[in-house]
Structure 1
Amino acid sequence: MARYEIAFAGQLIPGAQPELVKANLAKLFQADAQRVALLFSGRRIVIKSNLDAAGAEKYRATMERAGALALIQPLDEEVEGIELAPPPAPQPVSAAPVAAASAPVDTPTARLRVVPRDEYMAAFAEVDAPDFGIAPLGDDLQDGKAEPQAPVLDLSQFSLAPAGSDMGEAKRASTAPPPDTSHIKLVE
Structure 2
Amino acid sequence: MPLFEIAFQGQLRSGVTQEQARARIGQLFQVGGEQLDVLFSGRRVVIKQGLDQPAAEKYRQAIERAGALCNIDAVEPETNDAQVPPTSPSKLLSSNAPQPGPNPHRASEAEPRDAYVAAFKDVEAPDFAIAPVGSDMQDDYVEFTALPIDLSAFSLAPPGADLDELKRSADAVVPNTDHLKLQD
TM-score by length of 2: 0.41
Q: Over alpha carbons, which structure has the higher Rg?
A: 1
TM-score by length of 1: 0.40
More relative contact order, 1 or 2 (CA 8 Å, 6+ apart) = 2
